[in-house]
């Protein structure tokens, strides 16, 4: 299911790059400078003998701290002899696409995705547009422990801006929608979370013919993900009803997550949207689908009824991608809204995923509700409990007992999952099954046991 190979110690890279609160380790200007230098040296060594200097693309979301981090990364790469191309605010999947299209050595995204503005992060794509392999991240971490150096002046990297990066990405997104279809007659609300997609997503849908109502498109450096976007969809639902739209599309701060709302304001998460895409593609033969430990059991059962194989990866889109490539499958995703269509892109892309759903609706003539009617989701309750960093919940007998009691209460009609967040100091408590009252009580009981354990 992916993960770090034995013997590889990663102190900084998590499930989605390096992430943290700006001003605190590791998200300081000093560390970012050293990270740029270490990554640059690894890239230079891997590109050795090619003649030209390696080159990387740096994109970012709309957080105010992006300016500082971009400058520090640029300096680190330059010191290591790596050229830098700057594209400004662009969704994470847009950076992945341009890295591949421009034949670069790597692409770097400055973003903390769905986190609040006070956090930021750095994730790196390899030259083929896929997330950087664990082995390369381990190499970078090893160099981070050594003193930073600087190439001689004649061998420093140069920096330049990329012209029309957003326009190129818009055209790429449009190319993933069937040429025989358009979106004329559709009114869509597009919520960009005041994030990286604010200047590109509305254009994609508008240029395909839709009447677009844009919300969450006024970033000020501090409002990313604040009451807008895929993690706060209430504004989307209200706007769909107010404007009598056919559908609502909500992205997160870096544009790789997708949540949708239908004309009645009902929400559809990543599991439901992935099912809509898979069901539409089933006529072309879908070999299998990858989900995660958090994927609703109903999706697994619905795919089984259609004779489609299903496998669960660890939580994190990088692990979904690893398992897809291992099995040679094309479609996978997370209930949080990361959806991967490997026949369209190398990574999860909220805009591209929305276009695949819209293509399914166009071809079938169905609504989202009709297309997913046979997917009856099990009630799933997720409680996030703040815990100290490094908290070992398995060492606390009271938590284990609470988990066992919860599993007993479900009477074989559900499942319980406890897992630490890969990006925040949280223990995620998930209970799934039926009836809902039992599920909710089970989740609350375990969460309380965790809180007592951290307080004691």
CATH of the domain at 40: 3.40.120.10
Residue 287 lies in a domain: yes
Give the model's pLDDT for residue 255: 97
Confidence at residue 49, expressed as pLDDT on a 0 to 100 scale: 46
In this structure, are 385 and 366 located in the same domain?
no
Could you tell me if 228 and 338 lie in one domain?
A: yes
Q: How far is residue 320's CA from residue 310's CA, in Å, rounded to a whole number?
A: 12
Q: Is residue 13 part of a domain?
A: no
pLDDT recorded at residue 51: 57
Sequence length of the chain is: 456
Does residue 217 sit within a domain?
yes
- Please give the backbone phi and psi of residue 219, each rounded to the nearest 5 degrees, phi first: -70, 140
Residue 175 bears catalytic tag: no
Residues 423 and 362 in one domain: no
Residue with tokens 């769905």: 114
Same domain, 200 and 323: yes
Q: How far apart are CA 85 and CA 359, in angstroms?
A: 34
CA dist 174 → 223, 258, 305 (Å): 28, 17, 33
Domain shared by 340 and 411, yes or no: no
Kindly calculate the radius of gyration of the chain based on its CA atoms and give it in whole angstroms: 22
Same-domain status, 202 and 69: no
Q: Per the domain annotation, does 32 fall within a domain?
A: yes
Host domain of residue 315: 168-371
Assigned token pair, 151 = 């190439």
Examine the domain organization and report whether 121 and 197 are in the same domain. no
> Which residue in the block uniquely carries the two structure tokens 């150096």?
149
CA dist., res. 244 & res. 350, Å (int): 23
Same domain (yes/no): 237, 300:
yes
What phi-psi label fits residue 184: left (phi over 0), alpha (psi between -120 and 50 degrees) or beta? beta
Angstrom distance (rounded) from CA 12 to CA 383: 26
Do residue 385 and residue 362 come from a single domain? no
The per-residue pLDDT for 7 is: 37
User: Has residue 138 been placed in a domain?
Assistant: yes
The count of structural domains within the chain is 3
Task: Specify whether 127 is located in the same domain as 177.
Answer: no
Among 65, 78, 113, 126, the active-site one is 113
3 domain residue, yes or no = no
Does residue 25 belong to any structural domain of this protein? yes
Burial class (CB in 10 A: 0-12, 13-18, 19+), 158: exposed
Which residue, of 138, 162, 186, is where some domain finishes? 162
User: Which residues contact residue 268 at a Cβ distance below 8 angstroms, ignoring those fewer than 6 apart?
Assistant: 259, 260, 261, 262, 276, 368, 372
Instruction: Give one word for 229, left, alpha or beta, with left for phi > 0 and alpha for psi -120 to 50.
Output: left
3-state secondary structure the chain: CCCCCCCCCCCCCEECEEEEECCCCCCCHHHHHHHHHHHHHHHHHHCCCCCCCCEEEEEECCCCCHHHHHHHHHHHHHHCCCEEEEEEECCHHHHHHHHHHCCCCEEEEECCCCCCCCEEEEEEEECCCCECCHHHHHHHHHHHCCCCCCCCHHHCCCEEECCCHHHHHHHHHHHCCCCCCCCCCCEEEEECCCCCCCCCHHHHHHHCCCEEEEECCCCCCCCCCCCCCCCCCHHHHHHHHHCCCCEEEEECCCCCEEEEEECCCCEECHHHHHHHHHHHHHHHCCCEEEEECCCCHHHHHHHHHCCCEEEEECCCHHHHHHHHHHHCCCEEECCCCEEEECCCCCCCCHHHHHHHHHHHHHHHCCCHHHHCCCCCCCCEEEEEEECCCCCCHHHCHHHHHHHHHHHHHHCCCEEEEEEECCCCCEEEEEEEECCHHHHHHHHHHHHHHHHHHHHC
Q: Given the structure tokens 């979106």, which residue do they identify? A: 183
Whichever domain contains 421, its CATH number is 3.30.310.50
Ranges of the chain with pLDDT below 50: 1-8, 49-50
Which of 162, 197, 224 is a domain's end point? 162
Residue 427 belongs to some domain of the structure? yes
Q: Are residues 179 and 136 in the same domain?
A: no
Same domain, 196 and 253: yes
Domain boundary among 111, 144, 162: 162
CA distances from 96 to 59, 122, 177, 255 (A): 10, 13, 19, 12
What is the reported pLDDT for 284?
A: 83
């Amino acid at each position: 299911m992916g993960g770090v190979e034995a013997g590889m110690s990663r102190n900084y890279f998590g499930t989605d790059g390096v992430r943290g609160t700006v001003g605190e380790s590791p998200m300081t200007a000093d560390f970012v400078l050293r990270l740029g230098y270490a990554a640059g040296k690894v890239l230079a060594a891997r590109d050795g003998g090619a003649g030209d200097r390696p080159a990387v693309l740096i994109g970012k979301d709309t957080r105010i701290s992006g300016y500082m981090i971009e400058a520090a990364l640029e300096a680190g790469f330059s010191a290591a002899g790596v050229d830098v191309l700057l594209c400004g605010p662009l969704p994470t999947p847009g950076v992945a696409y341009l890295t591949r299209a421009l034949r670069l050595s790597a692409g770097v995204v400055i973003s903390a995705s769905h986190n609040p503005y006070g956090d930021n992060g750095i994730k790196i794509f390899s030259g083929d547009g896929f997330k950087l392999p664990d082995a390369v991240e381990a190499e970078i971490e090893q160099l981070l422990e050594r003193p930073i150096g600087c190439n001689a002046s004649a061998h420093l990297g140069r920096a330049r801006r990329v012209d029309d990066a957003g326009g190129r990405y818009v055209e790429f997104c449009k190319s993933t929608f069937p040429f025989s279809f358009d979106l004329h007659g559709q009114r869509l609300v597009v919520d960009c979370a005041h994030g990286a997609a604010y200047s590109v997503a509305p254009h994609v849908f508008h240029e395909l013919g839709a009447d677009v109502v844009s919300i969450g498109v006024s970033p000020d450096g501090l409002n990313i993900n604040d009451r807008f976007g895929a993690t706060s969809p209430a504004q989307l639902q209200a706007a769909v009803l107010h404007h009598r739209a056919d559908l609502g599309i909500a992205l997160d701060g870096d544009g790789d997550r997708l949540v949708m709302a239908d004309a009645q304001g009902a929400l559809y998460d990543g599991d439901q949207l992935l099912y809509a895409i898979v069901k539409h593609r089933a006529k072309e033969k879908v070999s299998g689908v990858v989900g995660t430990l958090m994927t609703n059991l109903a999706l697994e059962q619905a795919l089984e009824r259609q004779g489609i194989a299903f496998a669960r990866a660890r939580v994190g889109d990088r692990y979904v991608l690893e398992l897809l490539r291992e099995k040679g499958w094309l479609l996978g995703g997370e209930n949080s809204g990361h959806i991967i269509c490997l026949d369209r892109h190398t990574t999860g892309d909220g805009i591209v995923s929305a276009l695949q759903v819209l293509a399914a609706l166009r071809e079938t003539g169905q609504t989202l509700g009709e297309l997913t009617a046979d997917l009856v989701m099990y009630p799933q309750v997720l409680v996030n409990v703040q815990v100290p960093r490094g908290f070992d919940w398995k060492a606390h007998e009271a938590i284990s007992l609470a988990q066992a009691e919860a599993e007993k209460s479900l009477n074989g009609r559900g499942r319980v999952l406890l897992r630490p967040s890969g990006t925040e100091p949280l223990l995620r408590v998930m209970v799934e099954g039926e009836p809902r009252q039992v599920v909710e009580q089970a989740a609350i009981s375990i969460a309380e046991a965790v809180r007592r354990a951290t307080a004691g």
